[in-house]
Chain A
Amino acid sequence: MTTKAGVGMSRHHNPNVAGREAAERALQKAGVSKPDFVFVFGSIGYDQHSLVRTVREATGGAPLTGCSAEGTINGDEADESGFSVVVTTISSDDLQWTNGIARGLEDDARAVGKQVAQDLLPDLSADTIGLFVFPDGLITLTLENFFAGLEENLSTVQFLPLWGGGAGNNLDTVGPTYQYCDDEVVSGGISYALLSGKAQASWAISHGLVPIGGERIVTCSKGNVIYEIDDKPAVEVLKEYLPEQALTEERDWMRYAISLALCFRAPSYMKDEEYVVRGVPALQMADGSIIVQTEVSEGTSLWFSSRDKEKMITGLDRMAAQIKDQLGGEKPKLVFQFECLTRGKTMLREQEKLQLLKRFRQSVDPEAPWAGFYTIGEIGPVEEHNDLHLFTSVVLALS
């Protein structure tokens, strides 16, 4: 028996109907009645517990991993309305799955990484292919610590690639996001699924930002807080790139956080990109500081950056070529696409977005089952370094 995978989508507003519809469509496309494993990416508008329960019922209680999403992707279709769910059903003699969930990411991400490593240890083997991770997208500030905690505690010499994306909630910084594991639906945690067996993973990553203006220097910082840039309060420097009255209140920043980010010089192992992107998830008007999704030391060079359609398109073209190259002529059995929410409706017109997705899919494999979602933070390895990316697309093809 070979690997059979199917992806189904529903836009019904009732979670009990949507979950069943999407699961049934996925099963039908896979040509199986009971899958070995299920991925679910569900929009935040649904009652999440009802949604997951319905999918579990429709898939015969198969192990399930997934998260809430800013929007969902099913092949050439994408939906960012707040009401869509994409279910992936997989049945295979060649693949083995181990799934789980961990809480407390915000409190001690390193400890969570350690816990996940310990949970996975019994299942790690030479056949291990990689780990899917879906953390709370609002807690990505600490995700580097999670990676560290995980990798420190894996007693394997083999590099364990991580792929995934941050769970979303339509940019509601106050409300929760949700991570799914079987019947469990939690917030502030991370759901994961370890993939082992006979399959090849091919993946590629690119961001869609270009630097604007000249180099700026961090002149005062501590941890992941930048107080001053070029000896000026960081918020004041940020304001130079924003419309007047844009930052009357701190919460106004979220409207602009999706289109203005910081670029740092990319580490040497990152061959495809000149810059690595880090977002500014929050700012503090009181002391004029900004919070960055990485630790920044004083004297670091940075560039303000903005989304660029051309960069996005050329990036996707490069990704398609890289994946095809890695596939070496094999046809992918399943493709996952973790796409930053900033690359969706907040930047592109609906038809433009769909055309772009279609063009990319055509380049990789128009027939492969294709599932994904719009993320807050994307996770994918670059040259054996698991990284949190922003404003990027992470695409993984399993063959």
Chain B
Amino acid sequence: MEWSPEASAKREEQGEQRLATLQGENRRLSEQIKRLVRTEHELYQFQEKLDDQIRIYRHLYEVGKKLNATLDLGELLQIAAQFVLYQLGFERCVVLLYDPGTNSFYVGAHDGYYEETIQARVTGLRFSVDDPVLASILADRERVICAEGCDQDDLIALGQALRMAEYIAFPLGSEPQQPIGVLIAGNSVNSGAYHPHIRSDSEFVVGLANLVSQVATAILMRREIQAREQRLKQQAHASERIEQELHVARRIQQASLPEAVPALEGWEIYPSYRPAREVGGDFYDFLELEDARLGLVIGDATGKGVPAALVMSTTCGMLRAVTQASDYSPGEVLKRVNEALSTRIPANMFVTCFYGVLDPGSGSFAYANAGHDLPYVRRGGDTEELMARGMPLGLMPGMLYEEKEIILGAGDRALLYSDGLVEAHNPEGEMFGFPRLQALVAEHAQGEPLVDFLVDQLYSFTGERWEQEDDITLVTLHRVAR
């Protein structure tokens, strides 16, 4: 291009325009950079706060796990105090716990740097619930702050006692006016810039509130678990006591049962007594009467445990006493025992009892029944019930008892039994029942003793895992065929 003044002027003008454009762009870029730098300042400050919050919440999560893993109150409070010191950065932490025994608050835990003499003083602090220094804290459900410049005398006095120039106190527990404790985080007067200053809008308040909630829950949970453990211990203690009572009851019961079976020529007598785990009131007895006769008794006192054992033992004694006093008929015996028992037996208790008198020579078997399950007699291929009416013993005085008599011939068998046999259940909940028993008595073949046969049948019915619910007593009387 050739030089000309016009062309030169034009190039100069274009150059100035480009320069102006570049300068404008430079200014804009410069402003943008400054804006970015300004934003960066804020970002760094925000990031530091955020990082701090994340750190606190991460540790709160860890604290939660630690609190749930211990039932030791000292350890629990120490975990809380360590969090206050090492994560929230306070100089000191004191946890006051309520002692209902003295209606006061004592220092449950404290941590932080104290000189030794001061530490001992803080450890021994105890505040009555009425102590004015606690008035504001106990009146507030959320938190109380004693910051720099606080003019509340009670708060200042508490701070002085705890050696804190500024502090924040959180009642532990949700019950207004009745906190289970108070967690106090604070700093001494010399703490300077190395600990967070106490202000209501401080970042740490939320973290601290969260901690307090976790600690209160952990303490309450611990108390609940301890109460449960206490209850379980009491229950175990009670069970032990009951076990001992049962042992006594068993001894009473066994002492009342005959030690030997009477030997009667031409007769076989088989008793079988299977007590349940829990002592019942079954009994049987053989009473040697005049003229070589034999009294047979089977009975069941209502209830279980020591009361049933005592009633059963008393009844046995009365039966022996009455039969030995005179030659009373079975009905008369039951009547007399009922009279005596009615005045001594506790209300709502009674005794069912079958009493029969056997004359071994003639085979005569006279009997009366005070509400007991009816015995069966098998003769030939038939089974019949030994029916006789009468109210259970001890229910009310003035009762009369029907008397019956049967002659037991050669080969005849009588079965006396308690309700533990007929009321046994199989796993399906079906009851052994009278019809089954009667049928079994009927089908029983000669040879195996009837008692063993019935017990085998019972176990087949109930199954192996059967837990015996009640005493089972069986007595068979068999006139041997000649």
A residues with a Cβ closer than 8 A to B are: 11, 13-15, 43-45, 47, 81-83, 169-170, 172, 175, 212-214, 240-243, 246, 255-256, 259-260, 304, 306, 345-347, 349-350
Q: Hey, which chain A residues are within 8 Å of B40, CB to CB?
A: 259, 306
Q: Hey, which chain A residues are within 8 Å of B85, CB to CB?
A: 13
A242 touches B38 (CB 8 A): yes
A13 touches B86 (CB 8 A): yes
B90: nearest chain-A partner, CB-CB: A13
Give 7 new A-B contacts, CB below 8 A, not counting A11-B86, A240-B34, A241-B37: A45-B195, A241-B34, A246-B41, A255-B41, A255-B45, A256-B41, A346-B44
Interface residues of B in 5-42 (CB under 8 A from A): 26, 30, 33-34, 37-38, 40-42
Q: Hey, which chain A residues are within 8 Å of B291, CB to CB?
A: none
Q: Report if A14-B113 is in contact (Cβ < 8 Å); known contacts: A246-B41, A345-B48.
A: yes
Say if the beta carbon of B194 comes within 8 Å of chain A.
yes
Which of B37, B45, B55, B113 is in CB contact (< 8 Å) with A306? B37
A349 touches B195 (CB 8 A): no
A13 touches B112 (CB 8 A): yes
B38: nearest chain-A partner, CB-CB: A243
Q: What CA separation (Å) do A350 and B54 show in the bound complex?
A: 10
Q: Hey, which chain A residues are within 8 Å of B33, CB to CB?
A: 212-213
- Please encode chain B, from 34 to 65, with 1 for each CB lying within 8 Å of some chain A CB and 0 for all others: 10011011101101100100010000000000
Q: What CA separation (Å) do A329 and B339 show in the bound complex?
A: 113
Q: What CA separation (Å) do A154 and B195 show in the bound complex?
A: 44
Q: What CA separation (Å) do A242 and B36 show in the bound complex?
A: 10
Q: What CA separation (Å) do A366 and B326 show in the bound complex?
A: 107
Q: Report if A13-B37 is in contact (Cβ < 8 Å); known contacts: A45-B195, A175-B193, A259-B44.
A: no
Which of A13, A44, A214 is in CB contact (< 8 Å) with B91? A13
Q: Hey, which chain A residues are within 8 Å of B194, CB to CB?
A: 43-45, 82-83, 170
Q: What CA separation (Å) do A260 and B85 show in the bound complex?
A: 33
A47: nearest chain-B partner, CB-CB: B113
Number of B positions contacting A (CB below 8 A): 25
A260 touches B37 (CB 8 A): yes
Minimum Cβ distance to chain B for residue A138 (Å): 14
Which of B41, B89, B113, B193 is in CB contact (< 8 Å) with A243? B41
Which of B37, B89, B192 is in CB contact (< 8 Å) with A175? B192
Minimum Cβ distance to chain A for residue B40 (Å): 6
Q: Hey, which chain B residues are within 8 Å of A349, CB to CB?
A: 47, 51
Which of B51, B86, B193 is in CB contact (< 8 Å) with A350? B51
Q: What CA separation (Å) do A163 and B47 show in the bound complex?
A: 32
Q: What CA separation (Å) do A377 and B51 show in the bound complex?
A: 25
Minimum Cβ distance to chain B for residue A254 (Å): 12
A171: nearest chain-B partner, CB-CB: B193
B195 touches A242 (CB 8 A): no
Count of A-B contacts with CB under 8 A? 67
Q: Report if A241-B38 is in contact (Cβ < 8 Å); known contacts: A14-B113, A175-B192, A350-B51.
A: yes
A172: nearest chain-B partner, CB-CB: B193
Q: What CA separation (Å) do A365 and B113 show in the bound complex?
A: 37
Minimum Cβ distance to chain A for residue B343 (Å): 79
A306: nearest chain-B partner, CB-CB: B37
A170 touches B193 (CB 8 A): yes
20 A-B pairs with CB atoms under 8 Å apart are: A11-B86, A13-B86, A14-B113, A43-B194, A45-B195, A82-B194, A83-B86, A169-B193, A172-B192, A214-B26, A243-B42, A259-B40, A259-B44, A260-B41, A345-B51, A346-B44, A347-B44, A349-B47, A349-B51, A350-B51
A82 touches B45 (CB 8 A): no
Q: Hey, which chain A residues are within 8 Å of B86, CB to CB?
A: 11, 13, 81, 83
Interface residues of B in 108-135 (CB under 8 A from A): 112-113
A213 touches B30 (CB 8 A): yes
Q: Hey, which chain A residues are within 8 Å of B91, CB to CB?
A: 13
Q: What CA separation (Å) do A45 and B37 show in the bound complex?
A: 32
Minimum Cβ distance to chain A for residue B327 (Å): 96
A81 touches B193 (CB 8 A): no
A350 touches B45 (CB 8 A): no
Q: Hey, which chain A residues are within 8 Å of B41, CB to CB?
A: 242-243, 246, 255-256, 259-260
Q: What CA separation (Å) do A11 and B89 show in the bound complex?
A: 12
Q: What CA separation (Å) do A175 and B48 show in the bound complex?
A: 23
Q: Hey, which chain B residues are within 8 Å of A260, CB to CB?
A: 37, 41
Q: Hey, which chain A residues are within 8 Å of B38, CB to CB?
A: 241-243
Q: Hey, which chain A residues are within 8 Å of B193, CB to CB?
A: 169-170, 172, 175
Which of A11, A82, A212 is in CB contact (< 8 Å) with B37? A212
A244: nearest chain-B partner, CB-CB: B38
Q: What CA separation (Å) do A347 and B34 show in the bound complex?
A: 18
Q: Hey, which chain B residues are within 8 Å of A14, CB to CB?
A: 112-113
B55 touches A213 (CB 8 A): no
Minimum Cβ distance to chain B for residue A211 (Å): 10
Which 4 A/B pairs are nearest by Cβ-Cβ distance?
A45-B194, A82-B194, A14-B113, A241-B37
A16: nearest chain-B partner, CB-CB: B113
Minimum Cβ distance to chain B for residue A77 (Å): 14
Q: Hey, which chain B residues are within 8 Å of A345, CB to CB?
A: 48, 51
Q: Report if A13-B192 is in contact (Cβ < 8 Å); known contacts: A259-B41, A306-B40, A345-B48.
A: no
Q: Hey, which chain B residues are within 8 Å of A47, CB to CB?
A: 113
Which of B30, B48, B89 is in CB contact (< 8 Å) with A346? B48
